[in-house]
Structure 1
Amino acid sequence: MATPHIAGIAALIKQKHPDWSPAAITSAMMTTANFTATPGVPILAQQKNKLSPATPFDFGAGSVNPSKPIDLGLIFDTYFKHYVQFLCTVPGVDDMSVRRAVGVGCPSKKTDWCSDLNTTSVTVSNLVGSKKVTRRVTNVGELDGKYTVLVREPFGVNISVRPQVFKISINTSRHITLFLVATQTANSYTFGEMVFEGNNNHVVRVPIDVYVSSTLGF
């Protein structure tokens, strides 16, 4: 979608939730986006002079629905310190370069993987054998919620999620852990999704993108 559309929808969300961070607003738009053109019809992309079903690399999380982000259950929030931690896990980036870029150095305790940044998507660019990825969800709904987590696995990857069913109170957060195991080398990115279905008619969708480099390395 065009920048003016996104900016306008973000302004509406900010008016409804003035205390939300930019990451929270982004999460609200992404997790409630439409990932089909119309019900059951895929979004298309121009590829090699023909139209083919699009992937998340074409449309991201989908086409933003202006009304859904106003009332939702869960968000993935991220703050400045989390982005600094992310930079510090990027291969080849040292404390001095981070300090020059953002004004602060790396924390004494670093996260293990770039993919652990609490974004509203899961991307693993080099899966070798197995990997654990964590996310933190926050209940911004008006009621306590109970959620069931469903996963559509990318090709060549087995994914388990813990917990698969959980309860979460208003204004509280909890961690979700994904365990990815490579089952077949794809030599390209493959796509799936993680969906949180809530008992208050809230549905939260998270794209998953994985590049399986090798099934070895356990």
Structure 2
Amino acid sequence: MQNFLTAWKMDPFGEPIFAEGSPQKVANPFDYGGGLVNPNKAADPGLIYDMGTEDYIKYLCAVGYNTSAISQLVGQTTACSMVKPSVLDVNLPSITIPNLRENITLTRSVTNVGPVNSVYKANIDPPPGISVAVRPETLVFNSTIKTISFTVAVSTTHQVNTGYYFGSLIWTDGEHLVTSPISVRTQIIQYYTDGN
């Protein structure tokens, strides 16, 4: 499965997309997902988040399926690794952290499907009150390096109210804009002390 990041987040006239329902509100990433499909950009996405059978097996292991069920599903004997993988590391273009209580680092990989010698730089629009750091900040592709992994470290910069906050990670080579929506749910933890 290849995930392309080439959809519009605005309508064809440059206006915001609105969510269905009442009351009417401007759509957020949960409402529009990847956005409105842009077939012209999908033909030349620049980078893709590629997933194969092994990625899906890691996901099934991460969410707690046993090896017998996974083996039956994929039609071959399969075993989960001794160290349980994190569901946050599933190689999806979107980054969702459902419960940010402490610093989290997750991993993604992108494959270059554009010009062989390409250089992409990270631009981060962090969710309000959230710190997002990407390493490496520059991805350099050539004839031997077609896929590169990177890490995304996420933490709160100060106490924020419980709720979902949205931002994005954009990889650009000056021509392509490869956008990954970021959604983070923060949770305020109450600390109680015994006054005695």
TM interval, shorter chain, is 0.7 to 0.9
Q: Note closer, same or farther for the CA distance 1:150–1:39 as it changes in structure 2 (3 Å cut).
A: farther
User: What are the superposed Cα offsets for residues 52-95 of structure 1, whole Å, 9 maximum, x if unpaired?
Assistant: 100111110100101111112111101011111111111x5433
Listed as ranges, the matches of 1:34-113 within 5 Å are: 34-38=8-12, 40-47=14-21, 49-90=22-63, 92-103=64-75, 104-110=77-83, 112-113=85-86
* SS of the residue 1:67 aligns to: helix
Change beyond 3 A, Cα 1:106–1:168: same
- Establish whether residue 141 from structure 1 lines up as the match of residue 148 from structure 2: no
Identity %: 32
Tell me which of 93, 118, 142 is aligned to 2:91. Answer: 118
Q: Where do 1:145-184 residues align within 5 Å?
A: 145-170=118-143, 172-183=146-157, 184=159
- Inter-CA distance 144–111: structure 2 relative to 1 (3 Å threshold): farther
**Whole-angstrom distance in 2 between the partners of 1:34 and 1:203:** 11
The offset of 1:51, in angstroms, is 1.7
Corresponding position of 1:131: 104
What's 2:165 paired with?
190
Aligned partner of 1:99: which letter? S
* 1:22-47 residue CA offsets vs partner (Å, 9 max, x unmatched): x21xx12xx11000114642110134
Q: CA RMSD in A?
A: 2.2
- The structure having more radius of gyration, on CA atoms, is 2
Aligned pair partner of 2:178 in 184, 189, 204: 204
Aligned in 2, Cα 1:108/1:62: closer, same or farther, shift over 3 Å? same
The AA in structure 1 aligned to 2:121 is T
SS in 1 for 2:131: strand
Bigger helix share: 1
Query: CA 1:89–1:203 in 2, change beyond 3 Å: closer, same or farther?
Result: same
| Cα distance in 2 for residues equivalent to 1:39 and 1:176 | 34
Structure 2 unaligned regions, length at least 5: 191-196
TM-score by length of 2: 0.85
Residue 50 of structure 1, CA deviation: 2.7
Aligned to 2:20, what secondary structure does the other structure show? strand
Q: What TM-score do you get using the length of structure 1 for normalisation?
A: 0.77
| Native 8 Å contact 2:116 2:141 kept in 1 | no
C-alpha offsets along residues 122-173 of structure 1, whole Å, 9 cap, x if unaligned?
Answer: 1111222110011101111133111110111113321011111231125611
Distance 1:148 1:93 in 2: 37
For structure 1, list consecutive stretches of 5 or more residues without a partner in the other structure: 1-22
Say if 1:213 and 1:99 are closer, same or farther in 2 by CA, change over 3 A.
farther
